[in-house]
Amino acid sequence: MKILLATYWYLPHVGGVHSYLQLLKQRLEARGHQVDILGHHPDNNHVYLLTGNRMIEKAPILYPLHDMLMDYFNEEHPELDDWTRYRYIERQVYEMASALIGINQYDIIHTQDVISTRAFARIAPATAARVATIHGLLFDEFMTTGEIDRHESLRWKYCFVEEYLGASSAHTTIVPTEWLRREYVNRFFVPEEQFAVIPYGLDIERIAQQTDALERSPRPDGKLVIICPGRLQPYKGQKYLIEALAKLAKVRDDFICQFAGEGVERAGLELMAQHLNLQDHIQFLGNRDDIYALLRAADLFVLPSLVENHSIAIMEAQIIGLPVISTNTGGNGELVSHLQTGVLVEPRNSDDLFQAMLMLMNDEKLRNKLSANGKRWGRKYWHPDHMIDRTLEIYERVIEKNK
């Protein structure tokens, strides 16, 4: 089959969607399929194929379209704010640019978010089977960041419709967790038969090759290493972890917490750490290309997210054999069994995080149990063949129904 993997987000970038796309492309091509990836260029001024052989500049589309749509909004919908207008215009530009790239040759168009899914539902040829994978709820991220500030506001209504149309516009929609399927069915009223649940897979062999041979040697200063990888964004909840670390520092002094990632919250989090006198206990590492080595060298993994679907970071920590502490939000409870393959705590609760870290720091036997159990679980259930086999079944079923 000739397959197009398409996303609205820019590529390449640090994050789970990019990892998913790269693994899916690699494994599909290993089975004889031809795969292209389409997304925004990192400069956000182009839509392009990652192979580099096709790129569409957005400006010649944007300028006339912007003027026409702004005139329309001013006449017909003057109540729409700039934020909502921007989102609508950007989707239209992405849609037109994707059409100009040329998409008529694909048997499968597999989109990766609600925006690209709706766009390709409008421009894809009738002969193409359309599959979507939705990796999380933009709606909840906007609620957490405050971009949607109140129930039933215009932004709320716009994003509600965006989620509904994005989740229902493909022939079949894949979600990685039962939690996300329930959210779309119960909150956004998407028919249950629209969905197939396929958990993510990871390249277990590559991760094992990179990490199993590395020795986890204790730090010279004797401190335990806590690692928290992820973008520094409000919905990732790092401020609650810093609050918990301040409580931990009052009872134990033998730890260092490493934040691996970048984002808009970095300056505020650094200032918060200084105010809480945690300079000796916190390191901000920025984006790293040696994340597996960092995980292997750590003693504890903590994910304090407020919004999560199917965390790649938890999967990686389990495969490497790192004890996991995670908030019980979104699909995390499907990845972590409490006190068996990790520890689950309530989101937005720094005291829960503090107690969980203190418990594992004080109990080496429990840390070793969670490490061993998580490693067995991860290496069994996150094997990529499970994801690829079931995804191909969806492709074939949709193609057959679309004939």
Residues 173 and 184 in one domain: yes
Instruction: Give the pLDDT confidence of 146-159 residue by residue, as tens digits.
Output: 999 888 899 999 99
| Residue-wise pLDDT tens digits, 49-97 | 998 789 999 999 999 999 999 999 999 999 999 999 999 999 999 999 9
**What is the per-residue pLDDT for 403?**
79
- Asked if 392 and 287 sit in the same domain, the reply is no
Instruction: Please state, rounded to an integer, the average pLDDT across all residues of the chain.
Output: 95
Q: What is the pLDDT of residue 53?
A: 81
What pLDDT, on a 0 to 100 scale, did the predictor assign at position 75? Answer: 97
Could you give the CA distance from residue 85 to residue 51 in angstroms, rounded to a whole number? 32
Report percent pLDDT > 90 for the chain.
Answer: 91
The answer to whether the pTM exceeds 0.75 is yes
Residues 188 and 215 occupy one common structural domain: no
The reply to whether 31 and 153 lie within a common domain is yes
Say if residue 349 is in the same domain as residue 391. Answer: no
CB atoms within 10 A of CB 365: 7
Q: What angle do CA 255, 325, 180 make, to 5 degrees?
A: 150
CATH classification of the domain holding 87: 3.40.50.2000
Q: What pLDDT, in 10s, does the model give residues 176-227?
A: 999 999 999 999 999 999 999 999 999 999 999 999 888 777 777 889 999 9
| Alpha-carbon distances of 265 from 12, 21, 233, 272, 353, rounded to whole Å | 21, 27, 5, 10, 20
Q: Both 330 and 397 in a single domain?
A: no
Strand partners for 226: 257, 300
Percentage of residues of the chain with pLDDT beyond 70: 100
Domain encompassing residue 233: 204-381
One domain for residues 147 and 257: no
Quick one: 129 and 88 in the same domain?
yes
Predicted pLDDT at 143: 92
Side chain identity at 3, as an amino acid letter? I
Check: CB of residue 69 under 8 Å from CB of residue 85. Answer: yes
Give CA–CA dist 258/212, Å, rounded: 21
Task: Say how far apart CA 69 and CA 90 lie, in whole Å.
Answer: 11
pLDDT tens column, 289-318 = 899 999 999 999 999 999 999 999 999 999
For residues 194 and 209, membership in a common domain is answered with no
Report the C-alpha gap between 236 and 368 in whole angstroms. Answer: 27
Together in a domain, 65 and 194: yes
The verdict on 123 and 144 lying in the same domain is yes
User: Is a pLDDT exceeding 70 seen at residue 14?
Assistant: no
